[in-house]
Amino acid sequence: MIQESLARMGKVGKREDLSYRSATPEEAERCRKAERMKSWSLPAQAFGIFIGLALTIYCFISVDSPYVWPVGAVITLIEVIAFFVYKADAAPSKSFEVIEGEVTSITRTNKRKYVNAWVEQDQVTVRKYRWCSAFHLYTGTRVMLVRGDRGEGKKPDYFAIAIGDDPFTR
């Protein structure tokens, strides 16, 4: 097991170079549902902007400090920029290409999970696919690595979903 994992780690590939195949209609529908899961954070971002503006206005009215307005304006500006960054990330893809792999390792940030996967077809390990599935994630899980085409001149969207009966992408 350890020898096999070490052998896989030595062959790192780029996700752009994998030999994807076009998704079947059922797979494309699962990919669309997984992409919609990513956009659930947009209402929360909009609510955060509203709360930030309300607190800024309240502080401006009730606090006698010359620093309240600039600090509140900067915080609100950061929230608005973050909203548009999230909105760009939630742009839907026009078509999907998929390839199957197996999770070798999992990395986490505060908000997201990323998987590194071994692709048997191309004999390489690929890194940093965003996890968009409701399944608990373990090493050895079979996954579908997806490249979503967002249109001309836009970067493709790379994410991974579980192969199998996922409650969110059924």
Question: For residue range 51-109, what is the model confidence (pLDDT) as tens digits?
Answer: 878 877 887 777 777 777 787 778 878 878 877 777 766 677 888 999 999 988 888 88
Residue 27 lies in a domain: yes
Q: Does residue 169 have a pLDDT over 60?
A: no
Which of 54, 69, 89 is the last residue in one of the domains?
89
Residue 25 lies in a domain: yes
Number of domains in the chain: 2
List all residues 6 or more positions away from 97 whose beta carbon is below 8 Å from its beta carbon: 20, 21, 22, 23, 146, 147, 149
Let me know: does 115 contact 106? Beta carbons within 8 Å. yes
Calpha distance 39→152 (Å, rounded): 21
Task: Clarify whether residues 107 and 27 are in a common domain.
Answer: yes
Q: Does residue 126 have a pLDDT over 80?
A: yes
Residue 170 lies in a domain: no
CA-angle at 95, arms to 113 and 11, nearest 5°: 50
Question: Tell me, what amino acid is at 29?
Answer: E
Calpha distance 108→42 (Å, rounded): 21
Give the global pTM: 0.68
Task: Clarify whether residues 107 and 120 are in a common domain.
Answer: yes
Residue 167 lies in a domain: no
Let me know: does 168 contact 34? Beta carbons within 8 Å. yes
> What's the mean pLDDT when you consider all of the chain?
79
31 token code pair: 């990919």
Residue 12 lies in a domain: yes
Residue 29 lies in a domain: yes
Burial class (CB in 10 A: 0-12, 13-18, 19+), 119: buried
Residue 129 lies in a domain: yes
Task: Clarify whether residues 98 and 85 are in a common domain.
Answer: no
Q: How many CB atoms lie within 10 A of CB 21?
A: 12
Task: Clarify whether residues 96 and 116 are in a common domain.
Answer: yes
Task: Clarify whether residues 56 and 20 are in a common domain.
Answer: no
Domain that holds residue 136: 2-37+92-162
Let me know: does 79 contact 86? Beta carbons within 8 Å. no
Task: Clarify whether residues 85 and 96 are in a common domain.
Answer: no
Residue percentage of the chain with pLDDT more than 90: 5
Calpha distance 31→47 (Å, rounded): 27
> Residue 95, by phi and psi: left (phi above 0), alpha (psi -120 to 50) or beta?
beta
Task: Clarify whether residues 22 and 75 are in a common domain.
Answer: no
